[in-house]
């Protein structure tokens, strides 16, 4: 934010017509000269496997069968061993062969079954009543209990249990109704996961995908958006308490004569908060207050005014970032809707009119997928910017420059994928310029992807490319390669968590 009253709006960078009729000549993508230290960043490799319930059951069966075969134990014993050792087959085998007796003791397995008498009646170990053997049942350990106690136990005990997550690297997709799980490589550098149900989420915190901000920043941002702190700041900035009942009152127009609502109905001066009965023509009339002006000059209202100014600055700053965060989320959802329409309706029409298969038109879907992803990244850059330290002007200036360039490039891609494509959708016959359009949109998609990936990495690593002695030099070093000549791999960090202004 450049100042208290005029926070910088990077979205203004995207107001122009970014896709000219001259193709891509004005936006030199293809001939970008990347220095060795700025090579293009390749996409992250998929570091997870999506599993269905059937896949999970198959894995369980394979592990149970393996333990049964190697250790020569029953199926139930194999399940107990795997549950105790977090379903780690190697761990079970190592511990078993190191000290079988100790493992059985720890897990609760018996070497020998409990010997029971051959009498027709047995005592239940729970209710201590005697029953015919036909009314008793035993588990694999050999302990007999009456069928009535078994029934009560099977009905009540599971309700009091909390099932642990036995396998740390496998989690269920958090999307409502989804039946897929994710087997994650815990050594991966990225937590981003996209399930088969199309829901993308962070494997670490289960919130939506949120690169470039870390999970802690996301948690703080969500709490702040749901908290009452900004409502309190708004009330402090835009209202004053009634001197009698303390109810907050907002003055939106008119004179300084205020009347509180029933049942209070206290009349007072908006400026000095004194009783209106003590005011008149001699004190300044209806539109000023001599007493307030005198007290203000004497410094009586200095502290309260400072407090109001701090609250106003905090509120305006939060509003600046929140509105742009929310706007990009709305744009992302709209892009998702447009993508769905393109896949289910427009792509088939375009295929017929241009005489090309839908597989040949995949570059259009790729462009829309990139738009959706870029909107998500831009959304979270505003949460990142909110928590950048206010005193670090160098990083803030560099961050706003990178953010503005990202929005500039995204608007070009969006404009091309939406408006320029519409010309071909409206045409009744194949148009000659479609191949040129394909080249342009494909290059725009690739260049935008590279720039946003570099932006994300720069923010995740803390904007380490900033020249603290000359912030302008850092911007200039990228101006030749962004967004047209996109920067490559940039040194970059997590947003430093400054004290929350509110």
CA distances from 447 to 32, 159, 183, 459, 482 (A): 10, 55, 31, 18, 9
275 Cβ contact list (under 8 Å, min separation 6):
243, 266, 267, 268, 269
Q: Tell me the C-alpha distance between 201 and 215, whole Å.
A: 11
75-84 and 53-71 helices, crossing angle to 10°? 110
At 416, give phi and psi (nearest 5°). Answer: -70, -45
**Radius of gyration of the CA atoms of the chain, in A:** 34
Q: Tell me the C-alpha distance between 401 and 378, whole Å.
A: 13
Q: Tell me the C-alpha distance between 41 and 448, whole Å.
A: 12
**Strand extents, DSSP E, 56-127:** 121-123
Torsion of CA 417, 423, 424, 429, to 10 degrees: 180
How do beta strands 192-194 and 200-202 pair?
A: antiparallel
Catalytic residue among 83, 127, 141, 255: 255
284 Cβ contact list (under 8 Å, min separation 6):
290, 291, 293
Q: Tell me the C-alpha distance between 490 and 401, whole Å.
A: 14
Cβ–Cβ contacts within 10 Å for residue 467, how many? 14
CA-angle at 21, arms to 444 and 433, nearest 5°: 80
Is residue 255 flagged as an active site residue?
Answer: yes
Using the structure block, give the residue that is written with the tokens 């069968």.
65
Q: Tell me the C-alpha distance between 62 and 82, whole Å.
A: 12
Q: Tell me the C-alpha distance between 55 and 184, whole Å.
A: 15
Q: Tell me the C-alpha distance between 60 and 263, whole Å.
A: 70
Q: Tell me the C-alpha distance between 82 and 65, whole Å.
A: 11
Using an 8 Å Cβ cutoff, are 418 and 334 in contact? no
**Strand extents, DSSP E, 85-153:** 121-123, 130-132, 136-138, 144-146
Q: Tell me the C-alpha distance between 264 and 275, whole Å.
A: 13
Residues forming the active site: 255
């Amino acid at each position: 934010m450049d100042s208290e009253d005029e926070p910088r709006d990077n979205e203004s960078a995207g107001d122009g017509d970014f896709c000219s009729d001259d193709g891509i000549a004005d936006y030199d993508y293809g001939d970008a000269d990347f220095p060795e230290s700025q090579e293009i960043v390749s996409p992250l490799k998929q570091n997870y496997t999506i599993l269905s319930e059937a896949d999970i059951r198959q894995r369980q069966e394979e592990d149970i069968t393996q333990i049964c075969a190697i250790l020569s134990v029953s199926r139930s014993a194999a399940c107990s061993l795997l549950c105790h050792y977090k379903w780690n087959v190697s761990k079970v085998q190592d511990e078993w062969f190191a000290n079988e007796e100790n493992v059985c003791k720890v897990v609760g397995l018996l070497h020998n079954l409990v010997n029971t008498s051959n009498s027709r009646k047995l005592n239940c170990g729970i209710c201590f009543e005697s029953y015919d053997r036909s009314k008793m049942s035993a588990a694999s350990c050999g302990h007999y209990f009456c069928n009535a106690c078994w029934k009560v136990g099977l009905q009540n005990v599971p309700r009091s249990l909390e099932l642990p997550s036995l396998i740390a690297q496998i989690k269920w997709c958090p999307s409502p109704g989804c039946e897929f799980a994710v087997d994650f490589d815990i050594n991966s550098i990225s937590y981003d996961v996209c399930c088969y149900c199309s829901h993308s989420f962070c494997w670490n915190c289960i919130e939506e995908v949120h690169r470039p901000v870390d999970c802690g920043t996301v948690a703080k941002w969500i709490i702040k958006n749901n908290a009452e702190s900004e409502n309190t700041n708004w009330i402090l900035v835009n209202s004053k308490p009634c001197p009698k009942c303390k109810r907050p009152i907002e003055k939106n127009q008119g004179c300084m004569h205020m009347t509180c609502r029933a049942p209070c109905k206290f009349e007072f001066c908006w400026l000095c908060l004194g009783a209106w009965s003590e005011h008149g023509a001699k004190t300044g009339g209806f539109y000023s207050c001599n007493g307030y002006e005198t007290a203000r000059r004497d410094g009586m209202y200095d502290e309260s005014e400072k407090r109001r100014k701090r609250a106003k600055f905090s509120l305006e700053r939060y509003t600046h970032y929140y509105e742009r965060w929310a706007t990009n989320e709305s744009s992302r959802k709209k892009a998702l809707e447009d993508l769905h329409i393109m896949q289910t309706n427009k792509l088939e029409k375009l295929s017929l009119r241009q005489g090309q298969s839908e597989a040949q038109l995949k570059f259009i879907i790729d462009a829309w997928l990139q738009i959706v992803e870029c909107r998500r990244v831009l959304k979270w850059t505003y949460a990142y910017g909110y928590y950048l330290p206010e005193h670090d002007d160098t990083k803030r200036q560099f961050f706003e420059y990178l953010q503005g360039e990202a929005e500039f490039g995204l608007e070009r891609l969006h404009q091309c994928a939406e408006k320029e494509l519409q010309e071909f959708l409206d045409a009744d016959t194949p148009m000659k310029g479609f191949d040129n359009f394909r080249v342009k949109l494909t290059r725009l998609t690739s260049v935008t992807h590279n720039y946003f990936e570099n932006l994300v990495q720069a923010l995740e690593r803390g904007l380490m490319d900033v020249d603290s002695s000359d912030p302008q030099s850092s911007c200039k070093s990228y101006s030749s390669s962004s967004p047209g000549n996109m920067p490559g791999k940039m040194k970059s960090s997590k947003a430093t968590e400054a004290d929350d202004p509110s």
